[in-house]
Amino acid sequence: MTESEFNKLTDAILARIEQAIDASGADIECSLNGPVLELEFEDGSKVVVNRHTPNQEMWLAAKSGGFHYGYQDGKWLSKRDEGEFFSKLSEMIEAGCGEVVTF
């Protein structure tokens, strides 16, 4: 995939996350700065979502660790364990605020 296609795809992911957070009603502060989306919870903990263009990956980071995802067969799958991006993000959000957010 070209860099332009990757950026368009990942911009849509970041927008999808923001929309899901807004629709959930969960107490999560959401701020987007370029390709980095920070989700901050009431206790000050965060989940950071960003794209890594050189490797064409989406990255998730939280206190529980960092995870890298590549696009394969229409899904974002972990480079480590084949886990799915939105599943891991949901798990991290639930750990941060106790709310379930569906993407």
The C-alpha atoms of residue 56 and residue 36 are separated, in whole angstroms, by 14
**pLDDT for 81:** 86
At 40 the pLDDT is 97
Give the end-to-end CA distance of the chain in Å, rounded to a whole number. 24
The predicted pLDDT at position 25 comes to 87
The answer to whether residues 71 and 60 touch, using CB atoms and an 8 Å cutoff, is no
Q: How far apart are CA 14 and CA 53, in angstroms?
A: 14
pTM above 0.85, yes or no: yes
Could you tell me the pLDDT band of residue 64, with boundaries at 50, 70 and 90? confident
**Percent of the chain residues past pLDDT 70, beyond the cut:** 100
| Interval 97-101 mean pLDDT | 91
Tokens of 30: 């959401």
**pLDDT at 13 exceeding the cut of 90:** yes
User: What domains are defined for the chain?
Assistant: 3-96 (3.30.920.10)
pLDDT per residue as tens digits for the range 81-91: 879 999 999 99
Structure-block tokens of residue 20: 């899901």
